[in-house]
Structures are given as structure tokens and as C-alpha cells.
């Protein structure tokens, strides 16, 4: 342990990382550099500076990474319509590659010997942080306190905090411990406490970003999202940056009760885990993007993307953002988006995202003259369907004759 002189800690200022900061100082007797990322968690990050200073930290990095996060991580992921196990929009997973990248970069800038994180030994985040760090710096040293110490419960952590006079911001009256929560521009997640019982319904006051669908307005909200090469670039005609898009959609969708999910998922480390997620912007973005692709994307390209999406989602969920296979797939996905341009009109109503219109002046593959139920003036020869069907049925007919014999 004495070989470690300086460590860069991913530091939120919350319970876990505040304890880790003190633990690193006491156990490794090293200098700690803190890194706090603003990726849209909706809370002030500057208080982390005062907490770190109070614990003797000299090098403190606090960075606004919201635009980089939205532009370089969330938007590329949504070009693939990415969803894990049919439900999870990967709000935690997609934030980890960016944090890992900055940890490695700051370690190089400050001459640190190692990086450290607050991910538990049971979770996916330890894998995501460390796979990312190793991909970017194969020789990096990583300290994962949850795999070393014996503070293996919230109660022990809070007792440690009290013993060492570490401030704890969030205590909920009547509960033995707070939820484990993680937030960024894409989502906020909740785990632990009563959620560890898959039968227990989440409490109403747990949710932070959305109203309950039954409490949402009785009148729908209509919005129009403009796409350029698969990315949302404007809302209701107003140009917006990627982060601005997400901030706006989180607000308007949350007010309409959109984005709540209660999921039991398969963690990469092997166990099933129950978590609740609020993803207002992501829920809208996924629905709108698929609608835009339905109008502008070739059938076989769309189906190929759908075939590959679960693999792509698993790569992100399992921590392989910086892998060559993910980068290869991203190149293909991005190439598919060149003609995904146009406008989608949505109706937001009591937890629902309803597509009510889509158009593209330049790239629509919808041909009304062919698709019409009225007289198509010879644009489509219905007699051609007979041969098409018979050829496609040939192998089925041969197999049927064999069965008959």
C-alpha cells in the first residue's frame, strides 16, 4: 500500500465517496485528488469542493460535462434505439465510460499512481469503470474500497461517518438507510431498502423527476422534434444542443408522468437486481427516433439494426464502451443515420408518448402513390404479388408434400 502516493477519486460528496476519501487517507496514507463530474444529476456539485477541502484535499476537479455526455455518449447510443432486456434505457451504464475517461486523464495530469471509485463489489459499475480505465490506460492501478474493507452495509457506513465526523446529506426519517441513487441527464435510479423486495411497490415520495401518471394534466402536451442524421437538433422549431434537448424533455415529459420504470434486471456479475428508474427524456427520445427511422430508413437496414441492438446494448451495460467491437458497431450505426432527417410530432399524455405525425421533406421513403388504397394509376402491379408469394412459398410447399407422403 505504501507504493501508492497519490490517488484520483471519483467523488460525489455523498455518503460512500466521503467515507472512501477518509479511508484512502487513513489506510493508504496517500494524497487524494477528487474528481466531481456534473453530468446533469440536478444537484449542486460545488458543495463537493467544500467537503473535499475540509478533508484536506488540495487538487479538486469539478467539471461540467453535460454537453460532452449528451453529445458523445447518450446521443450515439440512441441512434441505435438501445434498450437492455427490453426495458432499461441504460442511464447509469452510459455515464460510466465518460467518468472512467476523465479519471484516467486526470491521473496522468496530476501524476497519480492510481484511481479509485465507490462502486460496490456486487454491482456492474465496478466492471464498467475498470474495463474503461484499463482500455484507456492498460497500466493503471485501481483501488476499489468495497472489495477491500469490511464496511459492507449502509449501517456500517453511517456509523463510520459518525465516528469520523463525516457529514451525511440525505437521511430519511423512519428508514434504516437511504436508497442508493444515481442521477444524470438521462435518468435517476433507485435501489435498496424496500426495493430489495420485488413484490413491494415503490413509495410515491421516492420519485423525484416525474409526477404520477394519474396526477398528470388532463390535457395533452404536443411537441415537435426535429432530427438531423439521427439526432434531435430542435424542439418546436427552436435549435437546441444535445444537453439542452435532454433538459427540456426531462422537464416536459416528467410533468406528464412519463419515464417511470420498475425493473428486475440481470447484472453482468451474475445476480438479478431490482431497480426503479426515471428516464423522461430518454423515453421520449427512443419513441421519436424510431418514428423518424420508420419513415426514412431502408427496411433491411432497420431490421439489421434491430438484430444487432441487443448485442450493442449488452456491450454498454457490461462496460465495453471502449471496446473495438462497440466502436465497429458505432461506425455502422452512424452510417445508417445519414438520411434520418425530418420532424416527429408527439402527444404526451398521462405517462404515454404517442406518435401523431412524422415527415421528411428530403429523405422520406414513404410513397403515397404506391401505398394508397385508392387508384394508384399503375404505380404498383398487384399481379406481381402472385409470383412473389409462390417463390417464397416454394420451400414450404416442398416440405408439405414430404409430410403428406
Question: Which of the residues are catalytic?
Answer: 16, 96, 125, 180
| Pair 353, 253: CB distance under 8 Å | yes
Q: Are 65 and 39 in contact (CB under 8 A)?
A: yes
DSSP 73-141: IIHHHHTTT--BTTTB--TTGGGHHHHHHHHHHHHHHHT-SEEE----TTSSHHHHHHHHHHHH-TT-E
Expressed in percent and rounded to 5, the helix, strand and coil fractions of the chain are 45, 20, 35
Q: Which residues contact 259 (CB under 8 A, 6 or more apart)?
A: 187, 209, 210, 253, 277, 278, 279, 280, 281, 282, 283, 284
Three-point CA angle 93, 96, 100, nearest 5°: 160
- Give the whole-angstrom CA distance, residue 231 versus residue 285: 9
Contact criterion met (CB below 8 Å) for 341 and 227: yes
3-state secondary structure of 374: coil
What gap in Å lies between CA 195 and CA 203, rounded to an integer?
9
Cα–Cα nearest to 229, from 292, 137, 154: 292
Q: Please state, in angstroms and rounded to a whole number, the distance separating the CA atoms of residues 131 and 331.
A: 21
Sheet strands side by side (includes 141-143) = 60-64, 31-38, 6-10, 114-116, 141-143
Task: Please give the DSSP secondary-structure letter assigned to residue 354.
Answer: E
Q: Are 157 and 13 in contact (CB under 8 A)?
A: no
Amino acid at each position: 500500500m505504501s507504493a501508492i502516493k497519490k490517488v484520483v477519486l471519483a467523488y460525489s460528496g455523498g455518503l460512500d465517496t466521503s467515507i472512501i476519501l477518509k479511508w484512502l487517507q487513513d489506510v493508504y496514507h496517500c494524497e487524494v485528488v477528487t474528481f466531481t463530474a456534473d453530468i446533469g444529476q440536478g444537484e449542486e456539485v460545488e458543495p463537493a469542493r467544500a467537503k473535499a477541502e475540509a478533508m484536506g484535499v488540495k487538487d479538486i476537479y469539478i467539471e461540467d460535462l453535460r454537453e460532452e455526455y449528451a453529445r458523445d455518449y447518450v446521443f450515439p447510443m440512441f441512434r441505435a434505439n438501445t434498450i437492455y432486456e427490453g426495458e432499461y434505457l441504460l442511464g447509469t451504464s452510459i455515464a460510466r465510460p465518460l467518468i472512467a475517461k476523465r479519471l484516467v486523464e486526470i491521473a496522468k495530469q496530476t501524476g497519480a499512481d492510481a484511481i479509485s471509485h465507490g462502486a460496490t463489489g456486487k454491482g456492474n459499475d465496478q466492471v464498467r469503470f475498470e474495463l474503461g480505465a484499463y482500455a484507456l490506460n492498460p497500466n493503471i492501478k485501481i483501488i476499489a474500497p468495497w472489495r477491500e474493507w469490511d464496511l459492507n452495509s449502509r449501517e456500517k457506513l453511517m456509523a463510520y461517518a459518525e465516528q469520523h465526523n463525516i457529514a451525511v446529506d440525505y437521511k430519511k426519517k423512519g428508514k434504516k438507510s437511504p436508497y442508493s441513487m444515481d442521477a444524470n441527464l438521462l435518468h435517476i435510479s433507485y435501489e435498496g431498502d424496500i426495493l430489495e423486495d420485488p413484490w413491494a411497490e415503490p413509495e410515491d415520495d421516492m420519485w423525484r423527476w416525474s409526477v404520477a401518471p394519474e396526477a398528470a394534466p388532463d390535457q395533452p402536451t404536443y411537441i415537435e422534434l426535429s432530427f438531423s442524421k439521427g439526432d434531435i437538433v430542435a424542439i418546436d422549431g427552436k435549435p437546441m444542443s444535445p444537453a439542452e434537448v435532454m433538459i427540456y424533455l426531462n422537464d416536459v415529459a416528467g410533468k406528464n408522468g412519463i419515464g417511470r420504470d420498475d425493473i428486475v434486471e440481470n447484472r453482468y456479475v451474475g445476480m438479478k437486481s431490482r431497480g426503479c428508474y426515471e428516464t423522461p427524456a430518454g423515453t421520449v427520445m427512443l419513441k421519436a427516433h424510431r418514428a423518424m427511422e420508420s419513415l426514412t430508413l431502408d427496411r433491411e437496414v432497420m431490421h439489421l439494426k434491430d438484430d444487432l441492438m441487443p448485442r450493442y446494448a449488452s456491450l454498454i451495460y457490461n462496460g465495453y464502451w471502449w471496446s473495438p467491437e462497440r466502436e465497429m458497431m458505432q461506425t455502422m450505426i452512424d452510417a445508417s443515420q445519414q438520411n434520418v432527417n425530418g420532424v416527429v410530432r408527439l402527444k404526451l399524455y398521462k405517462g404515454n408518448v404517442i406518435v401523431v405525425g412524422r415527415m421528411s421533406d428530403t429523405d422520406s421513403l414513404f410513397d403515397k402513390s404506391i401505398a394508397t388504397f385508392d387508384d394508384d394509376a399503375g404505380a404498383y402491379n398487384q399481379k406481381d404479388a402472385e409470383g412473389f408469394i409462390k417463390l417464397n412459398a416454394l420451400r414450404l410447399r416442398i416440405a408439405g408434400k414430404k409430410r403428406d407422403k
